[in-house]
């Protein structure tokens, strides 16, 4: 296997930092891996791409496959400060060498992490609870809101996705809409997707708030749970004023507001550390995941002292590995790198270039119906017809396959699977952005004939 692999990769630079000898032998035969995955890893999410990508290494904004080929990774919002960032890797290694344990002890790394994380939030958000994932964070947030208010109902936005636990399926229209099953369940109310491009209300914030108020009147909610830019729903940012108006309506009805920042947090939007700040709201509870540990399992709930007190009197919370020292060491390194490499400002700058380039592509490719988002959280809505906005779902799938052949990894989101999502590691450079745009230009020209 090693010989085959080396001869396919004659240029040692293609392999970046990873020498062939460091890749485990089990990771060197794609056919064998695919066979074993089918046999033992079920039920698994289907793999991206018709011909699955067999990755063995990552560096910065790039992934490397088993043939030594580099791909620009435009969709990995987990490797937030870059694949294999040396500061994160050495922080993980140093803490693992010293100690990893459950969270029943007084431990400096955990407490320092909670302090540093809390300091990134506006007042009064100052109490941190640590979990292993974004799903666990959302599950905990809902329990907190229900315990604190003594109510059961939750308001969510249509096509939102909040996680994979049993408690979250009923608040994730992205899941139950697709499954075509039973819908949200009796204690959940689904508010209209505040989509400025396809939505009914366009930029009319007050009318949208009236929709939220109607649901509140129907059943007094424990919480209004939302993303400030919806990822799975198709990279959709509520129009200015929508969220603030929805908060006012929800709070008027006595609900707590929960911002799910699992996808849009940690400076990705460029203008702010947290996407809710871009909408002028301060939630009662915030949930975090994905980028928080740069791919190392970690999640968090951040709330106010008042909500934390109300929750703790109602129930004790324990999570064996949530916030273990190794995960917290990774979390601390992520905060350090964000600060020292000024990645939020960088995301704003590179994201602005990327968005301008995509908007320019739209002048030449009629398949682009809408370019949207903030910072390095962008979406490109592909349509068959700009007038009707009919989604170009099949063409979008071809774009993703052709881009991969051209060395750029993209993926699709949204109710119709026609929105290219662009959420690269935050270290993406301007040169990388130019490469991505040139590739997309070529690929869109290749599929252009499907548009009318
Ligand atoms: N919330 C949002 C907005 C997400 O996109 C996801 C995952 O895709 C989750 C929560 C769940 O996070 P995890 O998969 O880490 O449990």
Cα-Cα-Cα-Cα dihedral sign, residues 423, 429, 433, 436: negative
Confidence of residue 8 (pLDDT cuts 50, 70, 90): very low
Q: What is the mean pLDDT of residues 293-309?
A: 96
Distance CA 65, CA 117 (A): 34
Cα-Cα-Cα-Cα dihedral sign, residues 319, 266, 415, 444: negative
Q: Which two tokens stand for residue 280?
A: 């002028």
Cβ-based neighbours of 337, under 8 Å, separated by 6 or more:
81, 85, 87, 88, 343
Which residue out of 134, 413, 421 has the highest number of ligand 1 atoms within 8 Å of its CB and is therefore the one to mutate? Answer: 134
Residue percentage of the chain with pLDDT more than 70: 88
Nearest CA to ligand 1 atom 11: 163
* H-only helix segments in 200-342: 205-218, 242-252, 305-314, 325-340
Query: Angle at the Cα of 410 (from 406 to 415), degrees rounded to 5?
Result: 140
> Does the beta carbon of 162 sit less than 6 angstroms from any atom of ligand 1?
yes
3-state secondary structure of 137: helix
Ligand 1 atom nearest to 227, measured from its CA: 3
Nearest CA to ligand 1 atom 13: 134
- pLDDT score at 106: 87
For 219-355, strand residue ranges (E) read: 221-226, 256-260, 285-288, 299-303
383 vs 313, more confident: 383
Confidence of residue 15 (pLDDT cuts 50, 70, 90): very low
Using the predicted structure, report yes or no on whether residue 142 has a pLDDT greater than 90. yes
Nearest CA to ligand 1 atom 5: 263
- pLDDT score at 1: 35
Q: What is the mean pLDDT of residues 303-320?
A: 86
- pLDDT score at 181: 66
pTM summary value = 0.92
Using the predicted structure, report yes or no on whether residue 10 has a pLDDT greater than 60. no
> Does the beta carbon of 287 sit less than 6 angstroms from any atom of ligand 1?
no
């Amino acid at each position: 296997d090693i010989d085959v692999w080396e001869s396919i990769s004659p240029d040692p630079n293609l392999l970046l930092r990873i020498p062939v000898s460091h890749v485990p032998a089990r990771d060197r035969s794609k056919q064998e891996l695919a066979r074993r995955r089918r046999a033992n890893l079920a039920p698994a999410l289907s793999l991206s791409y018709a011909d699955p990508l067999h990755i063995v290494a990552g560096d910065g904004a790039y992934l490397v496959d088993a043939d030594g080929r580099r791909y620009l990774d435009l969709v990995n919002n987990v490797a937030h400060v870059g694949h294999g960032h040396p500061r994160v890797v050495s922080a993980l290694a140093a803490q693992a060498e010293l100690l990893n344990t459950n969270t029943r002890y007084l431990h400096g790394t955990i407490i320092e992490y909670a302090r540093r994380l809390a300091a990134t939030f506006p007042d009064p958000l100052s109490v941190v609870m640590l979990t292993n994932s974004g799903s666990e964070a959302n599950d905990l947030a809902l329990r907190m809101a229900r315990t604190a208010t003594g109510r059961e109902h939750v308001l969510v936005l249509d096509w939102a996705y909040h996680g994979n636990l049993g408690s979250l399926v009923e608040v994730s229209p992205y899941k139950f809409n697709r499954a075509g099953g039973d819908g949200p369940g009796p204690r959940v109310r689904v508010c209209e997707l505040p989509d400025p491009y396809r939505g009914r209300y366009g930029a009319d914030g007050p009318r949208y708030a009236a929709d939220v108020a109607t649901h509140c009147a129907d059943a007094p909610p424990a919480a209004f749970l939302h993303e400030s830019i919806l990822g799975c729903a198709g990279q959709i940012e509520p129009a200015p004023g929508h969220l603030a108006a929805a908060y006012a309506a929800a709070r008027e009805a006595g609900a707590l507001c929960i911002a799910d920042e699992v996808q849009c947090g940690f400076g990705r939007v460029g203008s702010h550390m947290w996407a809710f700040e871009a909408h002028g709201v301060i939630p009662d509870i915030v949930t975090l995941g994905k980028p928080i540990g740069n791919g190392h399992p970690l999640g968090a709930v951040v709330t106010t002292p008042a909500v934390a007190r109300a929750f703790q009197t109602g129930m004790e919370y324990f999570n064996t590995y949530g916030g273990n020292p190794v995960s917290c060491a990774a979390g601390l390194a992520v905060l350090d790198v964000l600060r020292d490499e000024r990645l939020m400002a960088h995301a704003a700058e590179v994201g602005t270039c990327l968005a301008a380039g995509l908007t320019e592509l739209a002048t030449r490719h009629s398949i682009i119906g809408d370019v949207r988002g903030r910072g390095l959280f962008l979406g490109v809505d592909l349509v068959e017809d700009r007038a009707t906005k009919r989604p170009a779902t099949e063409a979008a799938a071809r774009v993703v396959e052709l881009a991969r052949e051209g060395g750029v990894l993209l993926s699709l989101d949204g109710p119709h699977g026609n929105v290219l999502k662009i959420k690269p590691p935050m270290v993406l450079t301007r040169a990388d952005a130019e490469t991505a745009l040139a590739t997309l230009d070529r690929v869109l020209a290749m599929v252009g004939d499907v548009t009318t």
